[in-house]
Structure 1
Amino acid sequence: MTTQDMLDERYGRRRSPGRRWILALGGVLAVGAVVLFGWFTVQGALDSVDSDTTSFEVADEHSVTLGFQITSPPGAAVACAIEAQDEEHGVVGWRVVEIPASDVHARAFREVIPTTALATTGFVNSCWVLPPEAS
């Protein structure tokens, strides 16, 4: 009998093989959760669309011409919400533009936003990848 066994017997401690299995199972579940989180993060990054407003021109009180560029996954159709605002940051024009799929990673566009009042700015609010059946 080892010293550890004698101490365990003397003070009533027992070694349980079930506890090791519980700890091992907990470790496996923790690793699985980390891998799953990593996969969702990578998958979300692969389908992300970046947009930058490159110019805007207020034509008159009824329209704004917006220049913008997008960086999207090749072969994916994209939709962008473009917006015009007045000097008090009120939305005076808004439109969703659907961009067909292309093999090119970065593309530039010019779109007209109809407005209900004189705008002072135009910009891309957000862009997203369209599901395959929508393209």
Structure 2
Amino acid sequence: MPLPRPAPGTAKWWVVGAVGIALGVAMSIYWGLHATVGLPTWQTVSYKVVDDRSVRVDFEVTNPGGTALTCTVQALAQDFSTVGTVRVAVPASGNERSEHRVTLRTTSRAVTGEVRTCE
């Protein structure tokens, strides 16, 4: 079964629509990359529940800008409530990637520890 042809005189609007969609996709990709390239990223490497009142978290920070950062590390209970939080200063350095270890004091037993943000 052949595809139906567009009505006579509407071909230019099909071209205008296709070009508009292509421009919209290109602008979305540009804005998405522009908003994320060069920003710091972080990753929780490991955590260990030391006892009922503390958690140790190991994490690494990739900072392409080389500026000083402050990372917020939190400990979570089994119901995902926050039972401990600490802000860690990450100094500016020439190295793009750095590893850190912090021990959080908690209000009750935590089941996990993670890096929440780095700003």
Q: Report the TM range for the smaller structure's normalisation.
A: 0.5 to 0.7
SS of equivalent to 1:29: helix
CA change 1:28–1:64 in 2 (3 A) is: same
SS of equivalent to 2:101: strand
- What is the alpha-carbon distance in structure 2 between the residues aligned to residue 113 and residue 27 of structure 1? 55
* Structure of higher CA gyration radius: 1
The TM-score normalised by the length of structure 2 is 0.65
Identity of counterpart residues, as a percentage? 24
SS of equivalent to 2:66: coil
User: Which one has the bigger helix percentage?
Assistant: 1
Unaligned runs of 5+ residues in structure 1 are: 1-13, 131-135
Moved more, 87-96 or 28-37: 87-96
Alignment correspondent of 1:10: none
The TM-score normalised by the length of structure 1 is 0.59
SS of equivalent to 2:22: helix
4+ aligned runs moved over 6 Å, structure 1: none
Aligned residues: 112
Unaligned runs of 5+ residues in structure 2 are: 1-6
Partner amino acid for 2:117? C
Q: CA deviation at 1:33?
A: 0.6
